[in-house]
Structures are given as C-alpha cells and as structure tokens.
Amino acid sequence: MKFSHIADVHIGSWRDPKLKELSSLAFIEAIDESIKEKVDFILIAGDLFNTAIPGIDLIKTVIRKLKEAKKANIPVYYIAGSHDFSPSGKTMLDIIEEAELGINVTKGEIDEEDKLRLQFTIDQKTGVKITGMIGKRGMLEKKYYEALNLNNLEAEKGFKIFMFHTAIDELKPEYLKDMESTPASFLPKGFDYYAGGHVHIVAKKDLSEHGYKQIVYPGPTFPANFSELEKLGTGGFYIYHDGELNRKNIEIKKSLYKEFVIDGKTAVEANSLILKELEDTDVNDKIILLRVHGKLKEGRTSDIDFKEILEELYNRKAYYVMKNTNKITSDEFKAVITEYHSAEEVEDKIIQEHLGQTPHIFSDEAETIQKLMRTFSEEKNEGEKASDYEDRIKKDADVIIK
C-alpha cells in the first residue's frame, strides 16, 4: 500500500503575487509527484486553501490537478482545516466533493448518548478505512474531540487512518511552545497512521506504547512566512509505502538565509556591512532572507538604507527578498518582540486576553470574534462589484451575529 500525506497547502497564501504563485506551484508538484509514484490515494490533512473564498484562478489550478489525479485512478481524501471555512461554516471543499474530485472523510452523526459518532470512508482499492476531525482556529475543535464517541473508532478492525488538523503536545517543538495544543490522548487509539496538519513542522513519532502509532506532520507544501522559510528552507510531503515513510522535498525556488549582527555600529556602518557581506553571494533566482539584529551605536532601524540593499539584490536577479529587523535596538528605539510565529497566533492571544470585558449575548465569544475577523478580512473576488462585496460581507456578519 502506498499513499501521499499532504497538509497545509494554503493555496493563495502570501500577498505578493510572486510568492503566491509558488504556493500553487508547490501543490502542482505534490500532485504530479504522487501520480508519478503511482500512490493508491492522496491524503490532504487540512488547509488546502488559505481562505474560504479563494480567487477563480486558484480554484481552477486545484480543480485541474485533482482531475489529473482522478484520471490516474488516485482518489483524494481530505479534512477541512482552520483556513478552509467561511463564516457560515461552508467551505470550498464542498464544491470539490460535489464535483467528485475528492472525499471529505469527516462524516458522522450525534448518537443517542449525545456523542459525535464518526463514520469511516473505505478506500475501494486498498480497503483502508479513513476518518478524521476538522480543525478550527484557536483550538475550537477541542470541544468536538471531547464529545467524540471513541468506541466504534477503536473497535473497528483493519488498517485505519485518522486525519487531524490540531497541534499535539508530544510533537510540538520548543519554539512553538506558546501555540495552543492538546495531548495525543485526545486522539482515538488503535489507528495505524495519524495524518496530521496545522502545525507547519516536519515531525513523526511512534507512541505505540500508548496506543498511537505513526503520528505524522508532513510540514507545508510551501513555507507560509519568513520564519518557516528560515527553519524549513523548502516545503514537502510524505509518501507512506508499506510501513516506510519517505519525505519528498518541494523546492520550487532555492532560499538563501543570511544573518547580520550589527552591535555597536552606526546605521551607515550597518548598511555597509550588509552590502559587503552580500557582495560575492549568488542570489540569482533565489528567495533571499535577511535577518538583522543587534544594538545600533546611533540611529534607528529606519536609518539603515534597506531600499539600497534590496535594489542591489534585485539588480542581481534575486527572485524575492525578505528582511526581518524586529530585533534591532538602539538607545533611540526598542523593538517590541513577540514569541509568536504567525499573525494567527498573535490574533488568538489578543482575543483570549480581552475576553469577557464587554457584555454580549454570544454562546462562544472567542469563536464569534474569530469568525467576524475572518469575514472582515475577506478580499473582494475577481470581477465582484464593490456594492456586491459590501453586501456579501454584511450578510456573512449578520449570519455570525444572529
């Protein structure tokens, strides 16, 4: 038996068009490689799209590749991640299933004991039994796990896969210690493979002694921010083949990380240091990551001429240049440094810190706030009139509030 485990594709992520294109190209390569490897099926463990209502061109890319997988007789099984939902709970993934290009394996019902009873989807080619749980922002899926009927899941015989989109304590790295997570004991026991998503790390752990075999995070198909490009370098996914896991790296563009320490230098000296150290560096067609930190002897971060540095790199045909300067300090300026690695983490933390300060009628204040924020951040669709866009946002907000 052979299958691909893909997660956190985030089609449409990155605001810059050049980087946004790379997330689509990474998905294309993941599907192409899966077809080339002749896998029996493909798992997508959440966040196929970066927003609930992606652009038409992005949808066309996904549909085209899923049609190719179907033509190769490779079914696609998926769960919805925290980025896949609209405020009303609808997801573009519903359209994929309606078009018979993929199967959402999160299916079930509330039983007589008021528990959530998940059903299995059986892969016709291999007989593998697949089920899974959705992911939501701020670990809001936790209440579903708490209501989960484990009996039927754990008693089922045969090779079983559980898909999830949640951070698990036992696999979470130290640098993500502030990310909300849950212990592995929330998962049903006795499955042969746990296909994870949500945490953008490459990690696997066998906890067979506790009843959990092969808990796996494949990492994103393309890194979603500066920190991920720095730590991961590339995207990728896993291929499982008769018990063995093989990591498939996806490197659409090479990335180059350069770190500069500017302690005791003036802004002008820091500028010269950076340009000098980059002088003989091959930047052609690469994503360049510049991390600058230290305490300036005089001047502020804004006095460093990054415009000159970026122009120099682009003149030498760099594909894209990113800089991180949030750890530059001086007597005139001190950066506010957080330990969070994504905007989503910062948002969730701020929400939690301010809950309960205003009277309201909502049953779940945090979830309501997150849904409203997601609604108000939706972009105007291609060809959509401004008035239609405003009406759509208002209607979605009304659904949430009511």
Q: Give the model confidence (pLDDT) of 306-332 as tens digits.
A: 889 999 999 999 999 998 888 888 766
pLDDT of the residue at 56: 85
CA atoms within 13 A on the CB side of 91: 23
pLDDT of the residue at 177: 81
The reply to whether CATH 3.60.21.10 applies to domain 2-250 is yes
Say which DSSP state 174 is in.
Answer: G
Q: Does 69 score more than 90 pLDDT?
A: yes
**pLDDT band at residue 337 using 50, 70 and 90 as cut-offs:** very low
pLDDT of the residue at 379: 65
Is the model more confident about 81 or about 33? 33
User: Alpha-carbon dihedral of residues 165, 372, 89, 364, nearest 10 degrees?
Assistant: 80
Mean pLDDT of 74-100: 82
Q: Does 335 score more than 50 pLDDT?
A: no
Give me the sign of the Cα torsion angle 307, 313, 319, 321: negative
Q: Does 358 score more than 70 pLDDT?
A: no
User: Alpha-carbon dihedral of residues 26, 31, 36, 41, nearest 10 degrees?
Assistant: 140
Is the model more confident about 346 or about 194? 194
CB 165 within 8 A of CB 85: no
pLDDT of the residue at 336: 45
Kindly state the percentage of the chain with pLDDT values over 70: 86
Burial of 177 per CB tally in 10 Å (0-12, 13-18, 19+): exposed
CA distances from 61 to 31, 112, 172, 312, 363 (A): 11, 43, 32, 34, 39
Q: Does 91 score more than 60 pLDDT?
A: yes
Q: Does 139 score more than 60 pLDDT?
A: no
Residue by residue, DSSP assigns 101-150 as: S-EE---EEE-TTS-EEE-PEEPTTT--EEEE----GGGTTHHHHHTB--
pLDDT of the residue at 326: 82
CB 52 within 8 A of CB 17: no
Q: Does 382 score more than 60 pLDDT?
A: no
Round to whole Å and give the CA distance between 143 and 162: 17
Task: Write down the mean pLDDT value for the chain.
Answer: 85
Residues 6+ apart with CB under 8 A from 73: 125
Q: Give the model confidence (pLDDT) of 263-274 as tens digits.
A: 888 888 888 999
- Chain centroid, CA 92 distance in Å: 16
CA atoms within 13 A on the CB side of 236: 18
- CA end-to-end span of the chain, whole Å? 48
pLDDT of the residue at 2: 96
Q: Does 84 score more than 80 pLDDT?
A: no
Q: Does 136 score more than 80 pLDDT?
A: no
Q: What phi and psi values does residue 258 have, to the nearest 5 degrees?
A: -130, 130
The ranges assigned to domains in the chain are: 2-250, 255-329, 355-401
pLDDT of the residue at 383: 56
Q: Which residues are catalytic?
A: 83
